[in-house]
Structure 1
Amino acid sequence: MSEILRLESVDVVRSGREILSGIDMTVNAGEHWALIGANGAGKSTLLSMCGAQEHPTRGSVFVLGEQLGRVEIRKLRESIGHVNPRHTVSAALSIRDVVLTGATGTNERMNRWEPTPELVARADELIDMLGLSGKESARWPTMSQGERGRALIARALLTDPPLLLLDEPSTGLDVAAREQFLETVDHLHTTHPGLATVLVTHHLEELPASTTHAMLIKEGRVLAAGLAPDVLTTALVTRAFAYPIDIELRDGRWSARARRAVPVA
Structure 2
Amino acid sequence: MRQDPPRPLAALEGVGVRRITTDQVILDDISWSVGAGEHWALLGANGAGKTTLLKLLGATMHPTTGSVEVLGNRLGRVDVRELRAHIGHVSTAQRVPQDATGHTVVLTGATGTVQPLWRKYDDATRELAHELLTELGCKELADRPFGVCSGGQRARVLIARALMPAPSLLLLDEPFNALDLPSREDLIDALARLAADRPALSTITVTHHLEELPPNTSHALLLREGRVRAQGPVAEVLTGELMTQTFGRAIEVTSQNGRWLARSGNQP
TM-score category (smaller protein): over 0.9
Report the counterpart of residue 173 of structure 2 in structure 1. 167
The 1-side partners of 2:34 and 2:63 are apart by 18
Q: Give how far 1:88 is off.
A: 2.4
Letter paired with 2:200: G
Q: Give how far 1:90 is off.
A: 3.1
Report the counterpart of residue 221 of structure 1 in structure 2. 227
Report the counterpart of residue 151 of structure 2 in structure 1. 145
Equivalent residues of 1:91, 1:108 under 8 A apart: no
* Length, aligned pairs only: 260
The 2-side partners of 1:23 and 1:84 are apart by 23
Equivalent residues of 2:18, 2:24 under 8 A apart: yes
Secondary structure (helix, strand or coil) at the match of 1:256 reads strand
Answer yes or no: is 1:109 the counterpart of 2:116. Answer: yes
Report the counterpart of residue 176 of structure 1 in structure 2. 182
Answer yes or no: is 1:45 the counterpart of 2:52. Answer: yes
Equivalent residues of 1:30, 1:193 under 8 A apart: yes
Aligned residue among 191, 198, 217 for 2:197: 191
Aligned residue among 127, 130, 135 for 1:129: 135
Among all aligned residue pairs of Structure 1 and Structure 2, give the percentage whose two residues are the same amino acid: 46
The 1-side partners of 2:139 and 2:207 are apart by 28
Report the counterpart of residue 13 of structure 2 in structure 1. 8
Answer yes or no: is 1:33 the counterpart of 2:25. Answer: no
The 2-side partners of 1:67 and 1:88 are apart by 28
The 2-side partners of 1:56 and 1:86 are apart by 22
Unaligned runs of at least 5 residues, structure 1: none
For residues 11-33 of structure 1, what are the alpha-carbon distances to aligned partners after superposition, in whole Å with 9 as ceiling and x for unaligned? 00112111110100000100001
Q: CA RMSD in A?
A: 1.1
Aligned residue among 66, 90, 114 for 2:73: 66
Report the counterpart of residue 91 of structure 2 in structure 1. 84
How high is the TM-score relative to the length of structure 1? 0.96
